[in-house]
Structure formats: C-alpha cells, structure tokens
Amino acid sequence: MEFPKTTFDWAIISEVLEQRGQLTMILDKVQEKQRQKNITNSAQVKRINPEELPEPLTVEAIDILAHMANEIPQSEEWHQIFSLLSHEDLRRVMDKRIEIQDEIHRQKRAVMTEEEKQKEKAWWDNRAKNPNPDEFFGNMGQPETPEQFKNRYGVYPFGYDENGNKIEQ
C-alpha cells in the first residue's frame, strides 16, 4: 500500500472541523496557549537586578517587576528588590500583578468549554450554599480512628482511656 505524499490535507480537516463547530474552539485554544507562552517567555526574558532598579519606577519596570513577583517560585532577585521598594512603588507593582493574574484568568476562562464552565459554576454554587469555613474538608493525613492515632503517636487521643475505650463524662 502506498501512502500519499502529504500526510494531511488541511483543507479537508479544517472543513470537517468547521462542520462540527470545533475549528474555532481548537484555534482559540492554540491562540490561548501561544498567548500564555508569550506571557511566560516575556517574563522569563526581561529581568531587573537590584542594582539596575530605576529610582523613579517606569511603566516598563513596573511591568517587569510584576512578572517577577508573579513567578513561582519567586527569585532571589525579586526578594532583594522587594526589600528596596517603597510602599507606594510596591503597591503599584502589586496592582499590576493583579492585572496580570486577572488577564491570565480571563484567557483561561475564554478557552473553557461550556461543560467546563458549567462544572465550575456548579462548584461555586455549591460553595455559596455551604460557606461554613469550620466545615471539615478532610483530615490532611491525620489518623481517622483512635487505633490509627495510637499506632501513629503511641497513645490514645484525648477522651479515650489506655485501652482505647471512650471515656463517658
């Protein structure tokens, strides 16, 4: 069997995807990934050293510092710059950082499918119905039973005697 010279006929593929209504969704996701990559690359390329920090902060410097503050993990350079900034300059940088985070969130939201949007909305609706902050959401690795507590810590938890029986008061 002989394979065709070209592996894909993009015209046919795009026509099929267009008929299914998926072409725009795929293109939007590709553009979103490219935008995120550009944001990440621009933040990685441009940096300011503490020695190069301009005295009156320019708009460009604030933008670069906001990207540096938004990095995870934050660099040692950012920590040094953080200690050098005045409260007013720090506020301007953090405001710009919030704008960057909001833009990233808007871009992520724009490429979400309707199903993903409905799932997120259901999660927030459930959270709004049950906003009790004292509610137990998991034990984060702590023992669930008195026996597990005894195995981990060598003693039974408060309210139990040395044999593991609950003390009635």
Tell me the mean pLDDT in the region 90-102: 94
Q: What's the pLDDT score for residue 169?
A: 74
Decide if pLDDT at 121 tops 80: yes
**Residue ranges covered by each domain of the chain:** 27-112
Q: pLDDT tens digit string along 45-75?
A: 588 888 888 888 899 999 999 999 988 888 8
CB 25 within 8 Å of CB 31: no
Residue 167's SS3 state is coil
Classify the C-alpha dihedral 105-109-115-120 as positive or negative: positive
Q: Which residue has the higher pLDDT, 84 or 24?
A: 84
From the number of C-beta atoms within 10 Å of its C-beta (0-12, 13-18, 19+), residue 77 rates as middle
Tell me the mean pLDDT in the region 84-97: 93
Decide if pLDDT at 168 tops 70: yes
Express the helix, strand and coil content of the chain in percent, nearest 5 each. 65, 0, 35
The span from the CA of 138 to the CA of 153, in Å, is: 19
Q: What percent of the chain has pLDDT over 70?
A: 70
Question: Which amino acid would we find at residue 117?
Answer: K
Q: DSSP letters of 7-74?
A: S--HHHHHHHHHHHT-HHHHHHHHHHHHHHHHHHHHHHH----GGG--SSPPHHHHHHHHHHHHSSSP
Tell me the mean pLDDT in the region 134-144: 72
3 pLDDT band, cuts 50/70/90, is: very low
Tell me the mean pLDDT in the region 13-25: 65
Mean pLDDT, the chain, rounded, equals 80
pTM of the predicted model, to two decimals? Answer: 0.49
